[in-house]
Amino acid sequence: MPKRGHYDRTTVHAIIDEALVCHVAFAVNGEPTVIPTLHARRGEELLLHGARTSRLLRHVAEGNPVSVAMTLIDGIVLARSIFHHSVNYRSVVVHGTGRLLESDEEKLSALEAVAEHIARGRWADTRPPSRKELKATSVVSIPIELAAAKIRTGPPMDEDEDYALPFWAGVLPLSLQPGKAIPDPRLGRGIEVPAYLRRYRRVGS
């Protein structure tokens, strides 16, 4: 529905920032593929990373187009009729072409953005990539130029004649909630759960 479309940068950025996973669609030799992966936003660019052998990253590095989607589910919408069942959601789709980040400095900066997108404060609390690891990793940047958000909120939208039916209708809210951090069995003694994990929350949630 056109009324659910949003094109302002604030809305688009907020959804990208809250989502943990994106799905990247691309086609090679006429064969469509969709890959789920982690991402990060830095200003007006979307950052993706992976192994140097990644078919997706090679596709982007060669200047080919991709479509990237993120979706946040906020609730199940239960109507009086099956036809009007839905979900409350926030989604973004980005279309474009990207570039390969070549220098170690660019790659390290982008990988820091990805780490901070996953858990803010994590980059400073880990060992940075070694030269060997950095060489084995590719990072691409996709400009957020052609992007649109779609959002559905609110109660079910039943037909007027169905509001008198004796069926429960409404919204079952859903949200991503962090649990208690589980330590690695080989974690050294005396290493406590970091504060940024004890108070973890997704941006915007």
Interval 51-109: pLDDT, tens: 999 999 999 999 999 999 999 999 999 999 999 999 999 999 999 999 999 999 999 99
Q: Which residues pair with 34 in a beta bridge?
A: 25
- The structure tokens 């279309």 sit at 95
- Model confidence over 139-195: pLDDT tens digits? 999 999 999 999 999 999 999 999 999 999 999 999 999 999 999 999 999 999 999
Residue with tokens 């979307």: 46
* Amino acid at site 160: D
Measured distance CA(179)–CA(200) in Å, rounded:
9
205 pLDDT exceeds 70? no
Q: What is the pLDDT of residue 5?
A: 87
pLDDT at 3: 82
Its pTM surpasses 0.95: no
Measured from the Cβ of residue 138, the count of other Cβ atoms closer than 10 Å reads 20
What CATH class does 2-198 carry?
Answer: mainly beta
Q: What pLDDT was estimated at residue 204?
A: 62
